[in-house]
Amino acid sequence: MTEYLLIDLDTERWLCRVCDNDFGDANGNYKEGTLVYDRDPREIHQPIIDPEKYEFTFSPDPAYCRILEFYCPGCATQIETEYVPPGHPPTVDMLWDIASLRAQWEQRATDPMVAITYGPGEDVQRHTHTPPQTPISR
């Protein structure tokens, strides 16, 4: 369903595509199975001009903006982020009709695990979770 999430149509569970961690009922909100961290946006979008001298520095204002980081509790992959005002409830960003999803795939008569594609030509091959090619190293 996303880069890091799949739905097991047999068990109706949200699973991590990296480590198979179970995030919970696929009829519900996968975020309930994540670990969440309230990140000060200045740590990610660091100032380019001096915050001692200026109010606007290329960094978001933490009194306006927080970054919620959602981690997989199994492999610590950051599966989602959300930019919200301080204290705003996280968004339930996806809710799927599992019965309908199952019926859709049964009608297609293909295996969703092999049918998903991400781009044209060789780019499809590049998008895998296999380790990258051996890099130059010392």
- Within 8 A by CB and 6+ apart from 117, the residues are 124
Q: Please, what is the minimum distance in Å from the beta carbon of residue 25 to another protein?
A: 13
Q: Is 130 in the site for another protein (CB under 8 A)?
A: no
CA dist 117 and 3 (Å) reads: 11
Q: How far is the CB of 132 from another protein (least distance, A)?
A: 5
**43-58: burial string, b at 16+ Cβ within 10 Å, e else:** eeeeeeeeeeeeeebe
Is residue 31 within 8 A of residue 90, CB to CB? The reply is: yes
Contact between 41 and another protein per CB under 8 A: yes
The footprint of another protein on residues 7-26 (CB under 8 A) is none
By CB under 8 A, the count of residues binding another protein is 81
The single residue among 46, 106, 109, 130 that binds another protein, judged by CB under 8 A, is 46
Considering only CA atoms, which of 91, 46, 47, 38 is closest in space to residue 65? 38
Count of CA atoms in the C-beta half-sphere (13 A) of 35: 9
CA distance 129 to 57: 37
Cβ closest to another protein, residue 11 vs residue 91: 91
Report, in Å, the least distance between residue 85 CB and another protein: 5
Cβ 60 to another protein, closest distance in Å?
A: 5
Q: Which is nearer to another protein, 37 or 106 (CB)?
A: 37
Complex with another protein: residue 20 or 116, whichever CB lies closer: 116
Contact characters 55-94, another protein, x per CB under 8 A: xxxxxxx-xxx-xxxxx-x-xxxxxxxxxxxxxxxxxxxx
